[in-house]
Amino acid sequence: MSKDKIEDAIYTRRYIYNFHYHLIWVTKYRNPTFTSEALVNEMKEILTTVAADNEIVIEHMEVMPDHVHVLISFPPSKAPTSAVKALKGRSAFIFLKRHPEIRQSQYWGGHLWS
């Protein structure tokens, strides 16, 4: 039996994995929220911070005016729904807390993502 390592796989004490999830989610009512470079960079920074706090690796990310694309990877001990919940929920909370004017004008219900 060969002990060759699988290319691009992540090895831990318990498992070997190579998960990649491409997620796309849109803003509520498809409102164009991230219209300036500052808002785009802020959302990228928020998502990067939330991902690091939850053992999620963001391999690629694009923030468009009305939606977000992320390619993520995380250990198999975490459920995909937990990863999505962490990214969407925490990022919306932080972003809307920093920008109450956007919350009042576009997201009065307190929900940034659909």
pLDDT tens across 7-43, in order? Answer: 888 888 888 888 899 999 999 999 999 999 999 999 9
**What's the whole-number mean pLDDT along residues 39-53?**
97
4 pLDDT above the threshold of 90: no
For 53-73, how does the pLDDT look when each residue is reduced to its tens digit (9 = 90+)?
999 999 999 999 999 999 999
| Cα gap 90→7, rounded to integer Å | 33
Residue in the block written with tokens 């090895």: 11
Instruction: Enumerate the domain spans of the chain.
Output: 15-105
Residues 6+ apart with CB under 8 A from 15: 75, 76
CATH code 3.90.1150.10 for 15-105: no
Given a contact cutoff of 8 angstroms between Cβ atoms, the answer to whether 106 and 92 are in contact is no
- What SS3 class is residue 43? helix
**What's the whole-number mean pLDDT along residues 91-113?**
89
| Cα gap 17→42, rounded to integer Å | 31
**Element spanning 51, H or E:** helix 37-53
